[in-house]
């Protein structure tokens, strides 16, 4: 796994990494304690075997549909979208005939109406994903789709529904019991942004035809050593996730409070959005943390990269590359002399040259940078990346002295929105809203 990280340009000489590296024993002990108490299912994946069985049983059910409409928001949607774009980019393109996944993750009347107008209900399964089972953006869409299915299919509506939610509680869990809707659990203590390797991300991935065993195997390769009850500080110190965490925490000490995620695997661009949620929601606490900035190469070289290179010197960068991407077409040999340097070269060569050029230029401009080097662009590598960044995020939070697993500020926004819609209770929120509106 160490081969996934290239530290050239990480600016280690300017950072006090040692202060954080010295805490490897403490962090190892904490990992052992937290995984032992079942509070880190993201790493220990105690649910993996049962999930595999559930998915095997569900395979025929979901494969019977041509369309899957996923309703979810935040961590209940971003992982699925990243996997979809990375591995099934042909969906929605001319000539595509395979299964189609549609993700509704916003209160967007235009998009929802377009789905209702175009999707054939008899060929569609609606997957509602909500760990809490009460997120109004998601449950609201569920109500509309439930009514739509019922109107179009009568009593068969519930056979076109799948709920992914908390095992025991919440509104959706109650719905499942009431109407006999097929469900899969989101395991206890697995928060949205850490849940892509549970049913949350794997149901849509399975529907699309992804090799989910490879995805899980990659994640387990990275995560399993961290969930070992005998993990030592020395072993942790050699693990890339801890090294990234020590780097992330040391950067903050020196005022680097923005973290670019620059993806030079164009199809993996949506991992930038997934990472942004993971990093921001986990680490933006108590007036601290670094702001994630998703960017994609080479497109963003010609836009925000100016700011990365020559703006405020507060940015660091995770730079995602893969040297073995498809070569693509060759440039013709009869190009004008001014472009002679690309004659006969592959299109992919240009991408790799641009990646190298930007990596070096960023580094020379004083942007501390770690390269995340993918051996290939398959699902196993994606699983490794997800586990590596998730574990690094958790430990960065611990090294900062904050809780990387909660999201109190997001919860406040949700409560205020409910108060605005005049939900029961929420007296305090209603009072502060009134004060805000009348100030």
> Binding pattern to ligand PA5, positions 273-302, x when CB under 6 A?
--------x---------------------
Residues annotated catalytic, as ranges: 281, 302, 414
- Cβ proximity to ligand PA5: between 33 and 411 the closer is 411
- The answer to whether 135 contacts ligand PA5 (rule: CB under 6 A) is yes
Interacting span for ligand PA5 (CB under 6 A) from 70-78, 113-121, 173-181, 204-212: 70-78
Residue 183 interacts with ligand PA5 (CB under 6 A): yes or no? no
Comparing CB distances to ligand PA5, the nearer of 181 and 369 is 181
What whole-number distance in Å separates Cα of residue 158 and Cα of residue 138? 17
Fill in the per-residue mask, 313 to 352: x = in contact with ligand PA5 (CB under 6 A), - = not in contact.
----------------------------------------
Q: Is 35 in the site for ligand PA5 (CB under 6 A)?
A: no
**Site track for ligand PA5 across 90-129, x = CB under 6 A:** ----------------------------------------
- CB of 135 or CB of 220, closer to ligand PA5: 135
Q: Which is nearer to ligand PA5, 71 or 369 (CB)?
A: 71
The piece of 15-23, 68-76, 109-117, 289-297 that touches ligand PA5 (CB under 6 A) is 68-76
Least distance in angstroms from the C-beta of 289 to ligand PA5: 15
Q: Which is nearer to ligand PA5, 176 or 267 (CB)?
A: 176
CB of 281 to ligand PA5, least distance (A): 5
Taking a C-beta distance cutoff of 8 angstroms, is the pair 75, 277 a contact? yes
Phi first, then psi, for residue 156 (nearest 5°) are -75, -5
Which parts of 372-411 interact with ligand PA5 (CB under 6 A)? 407
Q: Does 132 bind ligand PA5 (CB under 6 A)?
A: yes
CB 327 within 8 A of CB 346: yes
| Residue located via tokens 């230029």 | 361
With the CA atoms of 4, 38, 231 and 320 taken in that order, what torsion angle do they form, in degrees rounded to the nearest 10? 10
Residue 255 Ramachandran class (φ > 0 left, ψ -120 to 50 alpha, else beta): left
Rounded Cα gap, residues 309 and 302, in angstroms: 12
Residue 356 Cβ vs ligand PA5, minimum distance, rounded to whole Å: 34
Least distance in angstroms from the C-beta of 135 to ligand PA5:
3
Six-digit token string for 304: 């925000």
For position 138 contacting ligand PA5 by CB under 6 A, the verdict is yes
Of 15, 73, 249, 419, which one interacts with ligand PA5 (CB under 6 A)?
A: 73
Residue nearest to ligand PA5 (CB): 192
Distance CA 40, CA 401 (A): 17
Omega within 30 of 0 (cis) for the link into 384 = no
Q: Is 141 in the site for ligand PA5 (CB under 6 A)?
A: no
Q: Which helix (H) or strand (E) holds 183?
A: strand 182-186
Of residues 256 and 271, the one with the C-beta less far from ligand PA5: 271
In angstroms, give the least distance from the CB of 187 to ligand PA5: 13
CB atoms under 10 Å from CB of 5, counted, come to 18
Q: Which stretch binds ligand PA5 (CB under 6 A): 59-67, 72-80, 353-361, 386-394?
A: 72-80
Handedness of CA 421, 426, 431, 432 (dihedral sign): negative
Contact at 8 Å (CB) between 125 and 65?
Answer: yes
Selected binder of ligand PA5 within 35, 47, 58, 74 (CB under 6 A)? 74
Q: Is the dihedral of CA 318, 322, 326, 328 positive or negative?
A: positive
| Cα 129 from Cα 142, distance rounded (Å) | 10
Piece in contact with ligand PA5 (CB under 6 A), picked from 132-140, 307-315, 346-354, 425-433: 132-140
**Nearest alpha-carbon partner for 128 in 93, 179, 87, 88:** 179
**HEC sequence for 281-345:** HHHCCCCCCCEEEEEECCHHHHCCHHHHHHCCCCEEEEEEECCCCCCCCECCCCCCHHHHHHCCC
Report the C-alpha gap between 174 and 169 in whole angstroms: 7
Which residue among 41, 45, 65, 75 contacts ligand PA5 (CB under 6 A)?
75
- Which chain residues interact with ligand PA5 by CB under 6 A? 73-76, 130-132, 135, 138, 191-193, 281, 407
């Amino acid at each position: 796994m160490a081969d996934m990280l290239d530290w050239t340009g990480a600016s280690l000489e300017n950072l006090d990494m040692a202060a954080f590296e010295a805490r490897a024993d403490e962090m190892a002990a904490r990992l052992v304690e937290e995984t032992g108490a079942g509070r880190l299912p993201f790493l220990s994946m105690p649910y993996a075997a049962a999930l595999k069985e559930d998915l095997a049983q569900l395979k025929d059910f979901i494969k019977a549909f041509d369309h899957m409409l996923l309703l979810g928001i935040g961590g209940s949607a971003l992982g699925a979208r990243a996997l979809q774009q990375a591995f099934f980019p042909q969906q929605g393109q001319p000539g595509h005939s395979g299964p189609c996944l549609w993700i509704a993750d916003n209160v967007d009347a235009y998009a929802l109406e377009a789905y209702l107008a175009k999707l054939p209900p008899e060929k569609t399964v609606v997957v509602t994903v909500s760990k809490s089972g009460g997120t109004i953006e998601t449950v609201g869409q569920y109500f509309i789709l439930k009514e739509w299915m019922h109107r179009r299919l009568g009593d068969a509506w519930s056979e076109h529904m799948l709920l992914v939610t908390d095992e025991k509680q919440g509104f959706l869990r109650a719905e499942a019991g009431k109407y006999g809707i097929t469900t899969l659990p989101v395991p206890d203590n697995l928060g949205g942004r850490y849940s892509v390797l549970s049913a949350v991300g794997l149901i849509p991935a399975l529907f699309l035809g992804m090799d989910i065993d490879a995805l899980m195997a990659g994640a387990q390769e990275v995560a399993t050593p961290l969930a070992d009850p005998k993990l030592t500080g020395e072993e942790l110190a050699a693990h890339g996730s801890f090294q990234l965490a020590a780097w992330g925490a040391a950067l903050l000490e020196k005022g680097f409070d923005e973290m670019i995620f620059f993806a030079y695997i164009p199809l993996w661009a949506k991992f930038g959005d997934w990472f942004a949620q993971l990093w921001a929601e986990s680490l933006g606490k108590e007036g601290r943390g670094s702001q994630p900035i998703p960017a994609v190469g080479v497109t963003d070289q010609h836009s925000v990269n100016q700011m990365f290179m020559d703006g405020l010197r507060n940015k660091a960068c995770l730079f995602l590359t893969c040297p073995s991407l498809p070569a693509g077409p060759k440039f013709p040999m009869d190009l004008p002399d001014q472009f002679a340097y690309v004659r006969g070269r592959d299109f992919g060569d240009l991408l790799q040259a641009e990646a190298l050029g930007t990596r070096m230029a960023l580094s020379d401009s004083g942007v501390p940078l770690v390269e995340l080097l993918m051996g290939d662009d398959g699902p196993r590598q994606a699983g490794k990346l997800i586990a590596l960044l998730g574990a690094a995020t958790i430990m960065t939070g611990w090294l900062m002295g904050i809780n990387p697993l909660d999201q109190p500020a997001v919860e406040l926004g949700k409560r205020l929105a409910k108060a605005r819609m005049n939900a029961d209770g929420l007296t305090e929120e209603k009072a502060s809203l009134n004060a805000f509106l009348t100030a």
